[in-house]
Amino acid sequence: MTTYSNTVGSGGDFATIALWFASRKDQSHSDGDVEECVLLDGVHSFTTTQRTWDENGDLTVRYKAQTPQDGKLDTGAILSLDGTHEFKRDSNTTLEVIDCVCSGTDTVSPWQIAAKTSSTPRVNTINLTRTIWTKRTTGVWIQIFQMDGTITFNIANTVLENQRDDSKDWLLGSGGSDRAINLNVSGSTWHNVRVNLNQTDTSCTFFSVGNIYNTHPGASRLAFCPDFIDCSSIDDITERGTGNHANVFDTIINHSPGVTFNTDGSDPAVGEVSFLGDYTVCSQNFALVDHPNNLALDYVVSGPASGITSTSEDLSNSTRLGTADCGAFERPRLKNKVTPVNLF
pLDDT at 257: 92
- Identify which of 143, 14, 156 has the alpha carbon closest to the alpha carbon of residue 98: 156
Residues 6+ apart with CB under 8 A from 30: 1, 2, 56, 57
pLDDT at 166: 57
Q: How far apart are CA 255 and CA 241, in angstroms?
A: 10
pLDDT at 66: 97
| Residue 337 falls inside a structural domain | no
Q: What is the number of structural domains in the chain?
A: 1
| Residue 124 falls inside a structural domain | yes
For 230, the domain range is: 3-305
pLDDT at 138: 63
Q: How far apart are CA 302 and CA 237, in angstroms?
A: 13
Alpha-helical runs (H) found in the chain:
17-24, 242-246, 302-305
| Residue 7 falls inside a structural domain | yes
Q: How far apart are CA 30 and CA 2, in angstroms?
A: 8
CA angle (25 as vertex; 4, 125 as ends), nearest 5: 70
**pTM of the prediction?**
0.89
| Residue 341 falls inside a structural domain | no
Given phi > 0 = left and psi -120 to 50 = alpha, else beta, which region is 296? alpha
pLDDT at 225: 63
| Residue 314 falls inside a structural domain | no
| Residue 323 falls inside a structural domain | no
| Residue 49 falls inside a structural domain | yes
| Residue 234 falls inside a structural domain | yes
Below-70 pLDDT ranges, the chain = 106-109, 118, 136-139, 146-147, 163-169, 172-177, 197-202, 216-228, 278-283, 304-311, 333-344
